[in-house]
Structure 1
Amino acid sequence: MNILYLHGFRSSPQSMKARLMAAHFAATSHRFVCPQLPASPAAAMALACEFIEDRGDAARDWALIGSSLGGYYATWLAERYGCRAALLNPAVLPADDLAGYVGEHTMYHSSEPFEWRAEHLQELLDLRIEHITQPERYFLLAATGDEVLDWRQMRDHYPGARQHIIEGSDHAIGEFAAYVVTVANFCVEAIR
């Protein structure tokens, strides 16, 4: 199984959750990939599609893990390719959430600058999935204490999906180490 991890806005493969998942899968026979995503949502999805299409049958050989904005991306990819997606505090309406961020920023895990442009908001809207299909392909891990995104939007956007709602916590899911095995097991389960 190939696992593609998609990080969030301003994040990177150096995020705590990405590093924990990479360490877990390093001890298995599964291939874990976590690229640095470009700021442009269209470019980020082109890169993700390239990974998926270059190796194996998408629905059978790939699973996705998406955190925050990466969860929004993972939903689009899961619908496109029919693969599984574990979503960690996923963004549901990121064009709204990120409208006020147009301008220059730096990455969280480095001082590398990047520009979030107004046209990126339209690129996000172009990736919008109004309703998921085959909810059994999805696992939602959402925290009621998320200070960035509304966990109720997440819960309601993934009806019928396997869901674990954490009471409290935060957007980063600070205790994510306790959920690594659950997320990993979902990714490698056979789809019934």
Structure 2
Amino acid sequence: MTSAPTTHLLYLHGFRSSPQSTKARQMAQRVRERHPQLHWWCPQLPPSPHEAIELVMRGIAQWPRDTMAVVGSSLGGFYATYVAGMTRCRAVLLNPAVHPARDLAKYIGEQTSWHDPAEHFHFRPEYIDELRALDVGPLARPERAFAVIAKGDELLDWREMSARYPQSRIKLLEGSDHALSDFERHHLDEVMAFIDPA
């Protein structure tokens, strides 16, 4: 049975990141150049996890579940896992955060955006509980998820990331880094092939 071609693609950026992230821009360019028929959406996510997921779920409410896909990086990978849990769509997880409630507790307080240091936001203590509430547990359709995980990730533990997606396809990189600096050169083709296998 072949899957129907993907029609809608959602990209979710990471903590302190934005649609201006390198991977988001590389994917947007690839969609423009080679997949112009795809409906592409990469929203700027608010700092509140609850508000971020509300924005996303409202934005995809009318999307066809069987022909949509989501890609998420870092905290966006955690959010993408939630989206996949709710919709059972295809998901690509790029160095996904798996315990963000634990890992982001040390970032409570004033933060700056990566791509615009002049832009500040406040990461509030209640956001930790909001993150806990978004943990969807094991995916009902693990075969529809593909995780790209770098052993060289300087922020997240590759063992924890791998263990979170036991029955999903995993591409484990010996080196690389949290940002997947080699994304366009070595992984983008594979990601697009997984998203749109038809």
CA–CA distance in structure 1, aligned partners of residues 21 and 114 of structure 2 = 9
**Contact 2:145/2:169 (<8 A) preserved:** yes
Residue of structure 1 aligned with 2:141, choices 120, 134, 142: 134
How far, CA to CA, are the matches of 1:30 and 1:166 in structure 2?
28
- Given candidates 39, 49, 60, the residue that maps to 2:66 is 60
Do 2:88 and 2:140's aligned partners in 1 also have CA atoms closer than 8 Å? no
TM-score by length of 1: 0.95
Residue 158 of structure 1 is aligned with which of 124, 142, 165? 165
Gap regions ≥5 residues in structure 2: 1-6
Structure 1 unaligned blocks of 5 or more: none
- Percent of pairs identical after alignment? 48
Specify the alignment match of 2:53 in structure 1: 45
Partner of 2:163: helix, strand, or coil?
helix
| 2:146 is aligned with 1:145 | no
Q: Determine the structure 2 residue equivalent to 1:18.
A: 24
Distance 1:77 1:30 in 2: 18
Q: Secondary structure of 1:185's partner?
A: helix
Matched, 1:168 2:168: no
Aligned residue pairs: how many? 188
Q: Alpha-carbon deviations, 1:73-119, whole Å to 9, x = none?
A: 00011010111110000000000000010001110001211110000
Q: Structure 1 runs of 4+ off > 2 angstroms?
A: none
Alignment partners' CA distance in 2, 1:179 and 1:84: 17
In structure 1, the residue matched to 2:77 is 71
Q: Aligned residue for 2:42?
A: 34
- For the 8 Å contact 2:100–2:131, the answer to whether it is kept is yes
Cross-structure match for 1:125: 132
For structure 1, which segment, 4-13 or 24-33, has the greater mean C-alpha deviation from structure 2 after superposition?
24-33
Residue 194 of structure 2: aligned partner: 186
Give the Cα separation in 2 of the matches to 1:52 and 1:137: 18
Task: Report the Cα distance in structure 2 between the residues aligned to 1:174 and 1:160, rounded to whole angstroms.
Answer: 26
**Deviation (angstroms), 1:61:** 2.6
* TM-score, normalization by structure 2: 0.92
1:146-188 Cα distance to aligned partner (Å, 9 max, x none): 0000011111110110110011110001101121111111112
Q: Contact conserved, 1:52 with 1:62, CA < 8 A, in 2?
A: no
- Distance in 2 between residues matched to 1:12 and 1:163, nearest whole Å: 25
Q: SS state of the match for residue 60, structure 2?
A: helix
CA RMSD between the two structures: 1.0
Residues in 1 aligned to 2:19 and 2:12: alpha-carbon distance in whole angstroms? 8
Structure 1 residue identity aligned to 2:164: H
Question: For 2:170, what is the secondary structure of its paired residue?
Answer: strand
What letter corresponds to residue 31 of structure 1 in structure 2? H
